[in-house]
Structure 1
């Protein structure tokens, strides 16, 4: 029993003074605002992770100081720790007191209910538990490195054995993480998402109309469509609703979708999609869109519904599922699947499209959200289509890894901000957000049009690995309309904050973060596709008819 009571004292006594100070400072800094508002649970996990990172950095600084044999105040250790703890507690309390105001600085811009408290006790408890888990993991890493180093001491010099011990510990943890824990978790996630994809919602009924994907007459089986595919082909506006808006006759939009279980290979699925598209008369419509879904196969209804209304239903769209996993998991473990699917589908559709008479074929566009935007951008090489170019693309929430988006952002006009660039004369590429539509002081559109729809508060777009050690361009100068003016770059901390922001990016209210609003899609589609008989009054009426609340 005595040993149990002594454990906390021994535990605290074994902790690094510099590491403890650094941990508290990192904990305090983690409370400052970033792009996304955070709940107390998310804030607790983030703060605990930041504290653990700060502790590790502090331990390293202390080790380096001693290794370089710099002066060390050994006889003042107890006093040093007492002062360190006092300062750390004061700083943390002050920052905790400011946390509500920092979070409300985002919530106010996003028109959310303001918080009365940051629930500091619950948040601190979660943070402490998270820190302890990381601390234990760090001690296990240190133990593994020292054991290997001690064993190697018999064969090699001490400093070499230390280095080899650290390398061995890194290898062990990497192999365990990648080969065992991560693979097991991903296999479990894949099985879970696959089961979810096969589920039949009671409200999703197999379509009776012959000209619908998944019907008895369709080339695409209903069972193979998967959950997202079944939802996509049976949802969306029909001719009656569109006619009611326009007060004139409209068409039923064509939605073609091929699921992972509809064919064995991506090439077979792309070929099947083309045949189904031809069967339904997709190439006889005025607008044809090749859609790249997100990782689970989901297609944003706010994007497609608005386009179909704008063109009175005279729209055909086609998509190919490539994964069961959420976008970030799909990007992590199977990044080539989405790209292969996007390229195969575009190749099939474009190859047939360009054989049709130019005055009789539909205008061809690409579209993708998030991971779909990343894959869609790489679906084709401009040199492959320069002879017969398609009409353009709308890419919303392009992930930070998008090479084309990165290149254009880097080469933006110097007087434009990184969160809403202007590119050359705007005749080929334009950017849009919830405040600024893509029509402005630009030269007239050229033959091909590209629009990026992005919110300044979207961490999926604006995460940058370099933000751990360098202030992002989009934080300099004028801020985006939905970014807190109290957001400040802090080395390491900002990088960790943005990682957590990405994880919760789709939890934002529509019109902010990584959730795109129908009103913003309407502005983008109008600029991209030039729908007939759409003036300012009609645009306002459509935005009212398709409110954000309908898609939340």
Structure 2
């Protein structure tokens, strides 16, 4: 309360001129709000309450359990956000009180007692809140099949949060002190009217944004590109050049092994052989075709041309189906999904994919969000045009796939849901973000008695959303869906996948799924929406979204991909696919991003 009392104790005098009033407001009040360096730890009641509320909210349940150090980061940032919100309230109240001539004074004893009591309460609850939240986070961890937190987690995350909050508070105080120092030395040279201060702030803010966009972001992107390029030059253990001429990067390929990049090498050296497919599926099979090209200093159009040349070389146009995969970031392909497709097609297929960026997915989303859409449209369009030149009875069917940013780009191939249904035979998308236009439109068109987590569109005639195989055939109430007729598309989206449910709307808008999931066992049912806090909590789940069991977080595994592709290809999703799933679990090695 100390700062608030000082802030409110000097009301404007009626005899002051307008200029004196403005100077008093922006001079005296600005200095008071900034605080002197010897009052670094002083906070007003609104600041303390705001920080406490935000800190407590950050420990509320989220989609995934987080390690102590990451929870500490989120708690510290949240507390600082709450502190700043409280400061804004305190400053606003102080300005209004000054304007109307209201003074608030407390006796020194009461003020000092309030400080001590407030400090004790804050100190006690700082550790009590994390300890109380351990039970919630254990439930979340158990749901995703990972180890839950313990008492050490609570203590360590509290310490980390305190360190981050103190560091940010010190930075903020130092910045305001510097502004106050400069303004004090320039007082006799410039008029410090409120309007001038606001205009200056606007100019400075605009300048910072321009510098951030044109200088800092370009530098970050440049550094990320360089780092990614170095990563792409690596060839991990267990990744070897393919020998079959039906894979890019082989000795017969126009695309050299060294040019494919890390993710391209992983893709082209993987996949089942004809013998392996025959062994697992119990009937003769063909060797699947895999065509891939990386950036390697080329434009997107040149990369598309390179993929087309590979498809020509391997005569992919004679296969029954062609799968066009839109990759993520540097060119990663979900091997579970692609191999499932190849097994179920008995090898009579070709898969085409390409790298469209040298950046990780997160950086690509920030710097060039439309690049995956552009690349997907160009590659799919080129393949579609080539297929259209073939005799009708010999045209392969076109399927699409993608994960995360790749699912976003793959959906962007089609201008509308109707365009999707008219141009492709089907597809499987895993972990598709909710801000994807076509996915969002299908969700908006859902049947009235279905949810955004499990939308049912037209009783499942063409589009299905699922997490488990059973959900491919029934709705959330256990009622059978209508016949799944071609073209068939499937969105696999885990209820604990932060990539799916994160959206900037969470900053100010309560998501529909929060109320829809009440009463279920999913972590969504235990969550509470807070402006800003929920946005950052789900964003904070992303770094750990793969550190969970299969079928949770952002992990889409063979047990999900096989039934999904079976249904899309017109087979029974609930048939016994255990032999194929077991084979994939053996054949597909774990891959670190």
Kindly indicate whether the alpha-carbon contact (under 8 Å) linking 1:519 and 1:548 is maintained by their aligned counterparts in 2.
no
> 1:105: Cα distance to partner?
1.2
Q: Which residue of 2 aligns with 1:500?
A: 540
1:103-138 CA distances to partner (integer Å, 9 max, x unpaired)?
A: 101012122233333523322221122213322443
> 1:383: Cα distance to partner?
9.4
Residue 241 (1) aligns with residue 269 (2): no
Q: Which moved more, 1:214-223 or 1:169-178?
A: 169-178
Q: Which moved more, 1:177-186 or 1:275-284?
A: 177-186
Q: Which residue of 1 aligns with 2:507?
A: 468
Q: Which residue of 2 aligns with 1:108?
A: 142
Q: How does 1:533-548 map to 2 (within 5 A)?
A: 536-547=574-585
Q: How does 1:84-483 map to 2 (within 5 A)?
A: 84-143=118-177, 146=180, 151=186, 155-156=190-191, 158-171=193-206, 173-175=208-210, 177-261=212-296, 264-381=298-415, 389-434=423-468, 436-440=470-474, 441-479=480-518, 481-483=521-523
Rounded Cα–Cα distance in structure 1 between residues aligned with 2:137 and 2:442 = 32
Distance 1:359 1:445, change over 3 A: farther
Q: Which moved more, 1:495-504 or 1:536-545?
A: 536-545
Distance 1:286 1:503, change over 3 A: same
> 1:92: Cα distance to partner?
2.7
> 1:538: Cα distance to partner?
3.8
TM-score (norm 1): 0.90
Cα RMSD (Å): 2.8
Q: Which moved more, 1:309-318 or 1:73-82?
A: 73-82
Aligned match for 2:94, one of 66, 69, 75: 66
- Structure 1 spans left out of the alignment, 5+ residues: 1-6
Rounded Cα–Cα distance in structure 2 between residues aligned with 1:463 and 1:96 = 24
> 1:68: Cα distance to partner?
1.3
Aligned match for 2:75, one of 39, 42, 47: 47
> 1:62: Cα distance to partner?
0.6
Three-state SS of the structure 2 residue aligned to 1:201 is: coil
Distance 1:284 1:8, change over 3 A: same
1:376-406 CA distances to partner (integer Å, 9 max, x unpaired)?
A: 1111335996896321221111113211112
Kindly indicate whether the alpha-carbon contact (under 8 Å) linking 1:145 and 1:169 is maintained by their aligned counterparts in 2.
no
Distance 1:247 1:447, change over 3 A: closer
Q: Which residue of 2 aligns with 1:4?
A: none
The structure with more radius of gyration: 2
Distance 1:489 1:382, change over 3 A: closer
Three-state SS of the structure 2 residue aligned to 1:59 is: helix
Three-state SS of the structure 2 residue aligned to 1:184 is: helix
Three-state SS of the structure 2 residue aligned to 1:319 is: strand
**For this pair of structures, how many residues does the alignment match?**
543
- Structure 2 spans left out of the alignment, 5+ residues: 1-34, 475-479
Q: Which moved more, 1:461-470 or 1:285-294?
A: 461-470
> 1:242: Cα distance to partner?
1.3
Distance 1:80 1:297, change over 3 A: same
Rounded Cα–Cα distance in structure 2 between residues aligned with 1:217 and 1:548 = 28
Distance 1:245 1:99, change over 3 A: same
Q: Which moved more, 1:436-445 or 1:350-359?
A: 436-445
Q: How does 1:507-522 map to 2 (within 5 A)?
A: 507-522=547-562
Q: Which moved more, 1:484-493 or 1:148-157?
A: 148-157
Rounded Cα–Cα distance in structure 2 between residues aligned with 1:272 and 1:13 = 62
Distance 1:364 1:83, change over 3 A: same
Q: Which residue of 2 aligns with 1:3?
A: none
Rounded Cα–Cα distance in structure 2 between residues aligned with 1:343 and 1:168 = 40
Three-state SS of the structure 2 residue aligned to 1:216 is: coil
Three-state SS of the structure 2 residue aligned to 1:451 is: strand
Rounded Cα–Cα distance in structure 1 between residues aligned with 2:401 and 2:222 = 30
Q: Which residue of 2 aligns with 1:27?
A: 55
Distance 1:136 1:412, change over 3 A: farther
Rounded Cα–Cα distance in structure 2 between residues aligned with 1:289 and 1:168 = 51
Rounded Cα–Cα distance in structure 1 between residues aligned with 2:54 and 2:586 = 38
> 1:243: Cα distance to partner?
1.5
Q: Which moved more, 1:419-428 or 1:372-381?
A: 419-428
Rounded Cα–Cα distance in structure 2 between residues aligned with 1:359 and 1:223 = 38
> 1:548: Cα distance to partner?
9.1
Rounded Cα–Cα distance in structure 1 between residues aligned with 2:421 and 2:91 = 63
Distance 1:439 1:147, change over 3 A: farther
Rounded Cα–Cα distance in structure 1 between residues aligned with 2:573 and 2:400 = 24
Q: Which residue of 1 aligns with 2:528?
A: 488
Rounded Cα–Cα distance in structure 2 between residues aligned with 1:9 and 1:83 = 24
